[in-house]
Structure formats: structure tokens, C-alpha cells
Amino acid sequence: MRKSIVVLILMLCPGALWAVKEYPTGATHLVSFFSHVPTFRFGYARQARIKFNGPTRYRPKWTYATGKEIFSSPVIDRHGHVIFGSRDDHLYCLDKDGALVWKFKADDDIDSTVTIGKDGTIYFGSDDKHFYALTASGRLKWKVKTSGEIRSSALVLPGGLVVVPNYDGYLLGIKNGQILWSRYLSGGWCNAAPAYNPDDKMIYVVNNRASLFAVDTSGNIKWSQYVTGYGYNGKVQNGTVVIDDNGNLFFSSRSGVYSYTSKGKQRWHLSSIQTYIAPSLTQTGDLVVVDTKGTLHKISESGKILYSKKVSGRETYSSILVDAKDRMYFGSRDDKFYALDSAGNELFSILVGKDVESSPTISPTGVIYFGTDWGKLHAIR
């Protein structure tokens, strides 16, 4: 009989996210602490999958209204607080019951999804062209002015280096409120969350001019590749590079879904799937993505379309959250929020009255959180 042990990883530092995983005995297992980070799509590989179970039926818990649209995706800190931005210029922190803990005012929209560092520092950008660092209690630590709006979610790398792109097309390396380096990404604005692979210590990012870049932590561009089909394609949720467990890269454009090696060689291209969002990974390493017509596609790691199924009335800018059993959760521009099983069958859908462009997140207890263009944050038990 095969035996196993259950490892409970508790990173007892402010802002950390916890995870449970089972490992077979009799072997050494390397655990990456980059795999689950309080940031956009749950980690720096931007895989959008997590080892928590989501709800199988709709049971509303609460809603919280802000003054304007919510494009920012919520992030959960180690206390269970939900932190997100709004176009009413505020960053909000709510407790698990939907009560306001604190809010912080910037000077323009906050579309950026926060990233929480190991010490609990909260990092985010704003359309006021500043990048902010707050304490866990919502007080300003520092802010730095950049040349353009910041709508992306940042990387917080070893040694305290924070990497984030801005809307002027620059990738910035920031530490303690000082810009250490700035690299221009070939003429295109960028609101994609950069991805990071700790194995090769490379940062991967795309811009709207359809260029994929590999950048080292000193800001040197190691290689770039151009594909067609970007143009203006939405808000903070779009264009992100996904890194699988083998270091392969995946991203989407209006000209299809692409895969590259970490050295910049194209592995495959599916021109039949036009989409506004990055694909998400299932627990077995396949990809799932909703296209511009509301069709869900499941794609193997090698680029084979496993199935295609019409699931929503319109396109989505909301990333698919994949839970521990490969159930899928996402919002759509048909004014609904969807939950699907692993085969793409609908578990439930909710008409929220306006577009859902915020990507959902999930708590360890299985509560789903997402924002809407009505300016409300929803919690589903």
C-alpha cells in the first residue's frame, strides 16, 4: 500500500497564504514558496489554480458597495481580510464578514491588483502614476512617481526588489521607494502582471504591441519575441504570461493562444482561439480559457484542443479560477458570474446586472470573492 504524508505549509508571516498538499513518502520533495502568494492569479507563475475547494451552488454571503467600478481583483491576507481597489480612487480592506477594516485614498483609479509581501507590506499602483507601499494596517510607507498609470499586479522578489510595468510601456524595478532600473518594452503600453520563474530567475511579460519579453532581475532584456494580434484588449486582467511546472510559457492574444519555451522558441500556436484573457492551468496541467464568443476551451500542455463548449453569452476579461477539483469560476461581460464543473458543465450562474471584469479569488474556507462594474464586491459561500 502506498503511504503518504500530508504537509501543512504555514508561512507565519503577515500577508502569507497557507496551503495543504499531500506528498508520497520515501522521496525528497522541493516546495516552491512562490507557488502561492497573495497576488493576481495566486502566485508569480500566474497559473490561477489553487488547492482549495470552491462552492458547488450559489449561496450569497454578502456584498460591499464602493463608489465606482471594480476592475481590481481581490486578494486575501493571512488574517482573512479581502483587499481590492476601486475606480473611486480607494483601496479597501474588508474583514471576512464584509465590514470595512480600513481604506486608503489615492489620487486616481485603482485598477491594480495588490501583491502582499512576506512582511505584510501591500503593494499596488494607480492611474495617478504612482506606485504605493502600505503597511498591513493601511498606512502609507512610501510611494514613487512613474511616467505612466500602473494597472498591473507587481512581483515582490527576494531581496525586496519589486517589479511592475506601467502604461507607458516601461518595466520598473523598485526597492524601498526608489526606482533602481527602468526598461522600455518596445513601444507598447503594458498592464499585464509580470510572471517570474525562480528556477531560471527570469521575469516574463507581454505588452499590447504583441511582444513577449524575458528580463532578468537587473532589468536586462535577455530575449523578446513578436506575435500579431494585440491592440487595445482590455484592463488589468489581460495579457499575463502563465508558467507551468515545466517552465513552459503560455499567453493569449487576438490572434490566438501561444506557447513558448523559456528560451523564446515557439512551441505551438492555436489561431482558432481568440481571447482577451490568459489561460488558466488545471490541476493536471491542461489549460482552460474562454474566447471572445463565450466558448470554453480545454487545451493540453502540448497544444491539443481537448474540448470546446459554449458557456457564456459574451467574452470575458475575468481570469478563470481553478479550484482543487478543477471546478472553474469566472465573470463575463454578459453581466453574469459562472461556476462550472471540470467538464465545463454549469454548476450555477448569477446575474449581477453589469459586467464582471474582476478576476475571482478564493479563501481557504471556500468563499469566492469578485468585483463588478456596479462597484460591488461579492462574497459567495
Asked if residues 192 and 241 have their Cβ atoms less than 8 Å apart, the reply is yes
Classify residue 49 by its DSSP letter.
B
Asked if residues 209 and 231 have their Cβ atoms less than 8 Å apart, the reply is no
- The pLDDT assigned to 28 comes to 40
CA distance 377 to 374: 9
CA distance 193 to 240: 5
Q: How many residues does the chain have?
A: 381
Q: Where are the beta strands (DSSP E) in 220-345?
A: 221-226, 242-243, 249-253, 256-260, 266-270, 280-281, 287-290, 295-299, 305-310, 321-322, 328-331, 336-340
- Tell me what percent of the residues of the chain surpass a pLDDT of 90: 77
Is the CA virtual torsion 172, 173, 176, 179 positive or negative?
Answer: negative
**How many Cα atoms are found within 13 Å in the side-chain-facing hemisphere of 272?**
10
pLDDT digits (tens, 9 = 90+) for 145-177: 999 999 999 999 989 999 999 988 899 999 999
Lookup: cell for 180: 533602481
Answer whether residue 8 shows pLDDT above 50: no
Question: Which residues neighbour 330 within 8 Å (Cβ) at sequence distance 6 or greater?
Answer: 290, 316, 318, 319, 320, 321, 337, 338, 356, 359, 360
> How many CB atoms within 10 Å of residue 200?
15
Task: With cut-offs at 50, 70 and 90, classify the pLDDT of residue 207.
Answer: confident
pLDDT digits (tens, 9 = 90+) for 176-195: 999 999 999 876 667 789 99
Domain that includes residue 109, residue range: 4-380
What CATH number is associated with residue 159?
Answer: 2.130.10.10
CA distance 73 to 80: 15
- The pLDDT assigned to 110 comes to 97
Which amino acid does the sequence have at 239?
G
Q: What is the pTM of this model?
A: 0.89
**How many Cα atoms are found within 13 Å in the side-chain-facing hemisphere of 381?**
5
Q: How many structural domains is the chain composed of? A: 1
